[in-house]
């Protein structure tokens, strides 16, 4: 039974035409074939290894949904997760400091919202104190002895981090001093530095003997330190999603080459064991994986991700470096619609009226009508179908006793509510395009 809060979160996101941030298992139609392979990969990562996975699919096949579903699944299994949108202006793969900063800003766990780095750090220190206080040889009534014991335990825990990522360890020591002295601004500045933020004040940096700004290599080291911190704080690892990597096809050639090489570098680092506890997932269109402006421009990267898709999709190997999404078929789309309707009914004021007027036959008719706006291409339809179903039909039946969608609802899909890809697909031929000519 799904909670009222989660039900509201799902329905509100669908009203906006967005992918919900939680409760995705309710909507995960057709993803069961990936579950075992994903769980196996997560267990492998939790045992101290790294995994790189690529998801390919045309627009509307559910790449973003799968990545969010995977993240939610991973958080339930004790992982931290973060999702980064790759872009030329803000998040450049060849400048890992920008990727790390975005990842740190959006990191979350099962019990925290995005932006949880500070909470993770505090939990780490809290766990140190708990371990000390639970030591039968420790006197909890002696505050100074407890402080000293926590410092000693902290140094033991930081020994490996000091060897591999000394700056990360130095910041944690400085953070503890600042908190002990109630110097909150310094503590917050140190967390900002660990999160990859630029322009941290010199006074804050001096507390941890930090020099210079973050660059590509230092951010790679910070990633290693973050993984160690997460695991020591009780998390099983980090799932990092790099979404929309196909944007690399549209950047300058030199930036594209550097970014593709950065992807190759990350794969190699994971294979070499440099990032134990890290699961990296990228998403992209088939053109990015197979076209001349994508990974094929860098043969070593293409070789690492090469996957044979010559067989029927039902014979795909979900353990391969790439997995492909085909999108929902009509039957799956209708099943998804009835699932959402039933979810809506659980919190509705007029459940019987909704069940009667938005029965299975009507949901199927609406799915066909929305798909018809895209030339019958069901794969493009899910986002707008669910939006129309919830906000256009179910809400109105619930709110207005005399509303009957078969009589009072006429489907309209305007350009303003379509994405670029949806608008392109809606025009089946040049004759469908309105030209403004004088």
The residue among 285, 302, 324 that closes a domain is 324
pLDDT reported for residue 124: 92
Helix axis angle, 360-372 to 330-346, nearest 10°: 130
Q: 105 with 145, same domain? A: no
* Lowest pLDDT segment from 88-92, 241-245, 258-262, 337-341: 88-92
pLDDT reported for residue 405: 96
Q: How does residue 3 score in pLDDT terms, banded at 50, 70 and 90?
A: confident
| Over residues 93-97, mean pLDDT | 93
CA distances, 160 to each of 6, 122, 184, 200, 277 (Å): 40, 20, 27, 26, 15
Residue 18, in any domain of the structure = no
Q: 137 with 213, same domain? A: yes
Q: How does residue 286 score in pLDDT terms, banded at 50, 70 and 90?
A: very high
Query: Could you report the per-residue pLDDT of 374-383, keeping only the tens digit for each?
Result: 888 888 888 9
pLDDT reported for residue 133: 86
Domain hosting residue 353, numbered range: 330-425
Q: 128 with 73, same domain? A: no
Q: How does residue 28 score in pLDDT terms, banded at 50, 70 and 90?
A: confident
Query: Could you report the per-residue pLDDT of 291-321, keeping only the tens digit for each?
Result: 999 999 999 999 999 999 988 988 999 999 9
Q: What percent of the chain has pLDDT over 90?
A: 69
pLDDT reported for residue 61: 86
pLDDT reported for residue 427: 61
| Over residues 177-197, mean pLDDT | 95
Query: What are 302's strand-pairing partners?
Result: none
Residue 433, in any domain of the structure = no
Q: 339 with 306, same domain? A: no
Model pTM score: 0.88
Q: How does residue 91 score in pLDDT terms, banded at 50, 70 and 90?
A: confident
Residue 1, in any domain of the structure = no
Q: How does residue 172 score in pLDDT terms, banded at 50, 70 and 90?
A: very high
Phi, psi of 55, rounded to the nearest 5 degrees: -115, 125
Query: What is the average pLDDT score of the chain?
Result: 91
Going along 30-141, which residue ranges are E strands?
A: 50-56, 80-85
Closest CA to 124 of 230, 40, 33: 230
Q: 370 with 309, same domain? A: no
pLDDT reported for residue 433: 40
HSE value, Cβ hemisphere, 13 Å, CA-based, for 419: 12
How many domains, the chain?
A: 3
Q: What is the CATH number of the domain that holds 74?
A: 3.40.50.300
Q: 282 with 215, same domain? A: no
Q: 122 with 202, same domain? A: yes
Q: Name which residue leads in pLDDT, 38 or 3.
A: 38
| Over residues 415-423, mean pLDDT | 81
Q: 251 with 339, same domain? A: no
Phi, psi of 70, rounded to the nearest 5 degrees: -60, -40
Residue 70, in any domain of the structure = yes
How large is the C-alpha radius of gyration of the chain? 25
Q: 130 with 87, same domain? A: no
Residue 8, in any domain of the structure = no
pLDDT reported for residue 22: 79
The residue among 191, 219, 247 that closes a domain is 219
Residue 78, in any domain of the structure = yes
Q: 173 with 309, same domain? A: no
The residue among 324, 339, 363 that closes a domain is 324
Residue 348, in any domain of the structure = yes
Q: 101 with 140, same domain? A: no
Q: 347 with 419, same domain? A: yes
Residue 22, in any domain of the structure = no
């Amino acid at each position: 039974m799904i909670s009222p809060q989660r039900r509201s979160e799902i329905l509100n996101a669908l009203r906006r035409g967005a992918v919900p941030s939680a409760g995705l298992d309710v909507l995960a139609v057709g993803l069961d074939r990936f579950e075992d392979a994903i769980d196996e990969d997560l267990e492998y990562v939790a045992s101290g290894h790294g995994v790189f996975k690529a998801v390919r699919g045309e627009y509307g096949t559910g790449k973003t949904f799968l990545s969010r579903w995977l993240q939610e699944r991973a958080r339930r299994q004790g992982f931290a997760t973060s999702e980064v949108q790759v872009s030329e202006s803000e998040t450049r793969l060849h400048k890992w400091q920008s990727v790390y900063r975005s990842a740190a800003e959006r990191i979350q766990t099962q019990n925290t919202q995005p932006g949880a780095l500070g909470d993770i750090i505090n939990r780490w220190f809290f766990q140190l104190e708990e371990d000390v206080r639970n030591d039968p040889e420790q006197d909890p009534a002696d505050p100074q002895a407890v402080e000293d014991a926590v410092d000693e335990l902290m140094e033991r825990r930081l020994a490996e981090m000091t060897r591999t990522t000394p700056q990360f360890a130095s910041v944690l020591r400085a953070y503890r001093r600042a908190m002990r002295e109630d110097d909150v601004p310094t503590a917050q500045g140190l967390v900002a530095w660990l999160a990859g933020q630029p322009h941290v004040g010199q006074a804050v940096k001096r507390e941890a003997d930090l020099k210079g700004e973050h660059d590509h290599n230092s951010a790679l080291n910070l990633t290693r330190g973050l993984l160690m911190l997460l695991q020591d704080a009780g998390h099983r690892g980090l799932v990092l999603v790099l979404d929309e990597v196909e944007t690399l096809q549209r950047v300058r050639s030199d930036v594209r080459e550097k970014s593709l090489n950065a992807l190759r570098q990350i794969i190699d680092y994971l294979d070499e064991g440099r990032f134990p506890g890290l699961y990296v997932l990228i998403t992209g269109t088939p053109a990015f994986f197979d076209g001349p402006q994508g990974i094929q421009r860098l043969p070593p990267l293409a070789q690492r991700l090469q996957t044979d898709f010559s067989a029927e999709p039902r014979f795909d190997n979900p353990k391969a470096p790439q997995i492909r999404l085909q999108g929902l078929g009509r039957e799956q789309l209708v099943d998804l619609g009835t699932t959402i309707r039933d979810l809506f009914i659980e919190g509705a004021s007029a459940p019987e009226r909704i069940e009667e007027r938005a029965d299975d036959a009507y949901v199927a008719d609406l799915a066909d009508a929305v798909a018809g706006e895209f030339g019958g291409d069901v794969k493009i339809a899910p986002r707008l179908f669910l939006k129309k179903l919830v906000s256009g039909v179910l809400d109105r039946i619930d709110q207005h006793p005399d509303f009957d969608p078969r009589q009072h609802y006429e489907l309209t899909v305007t350009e303003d509510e379509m994405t670029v890809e949806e608008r392109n697909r809606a025009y089946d031929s040049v004759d469908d395009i309105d030209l403004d000519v004088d």
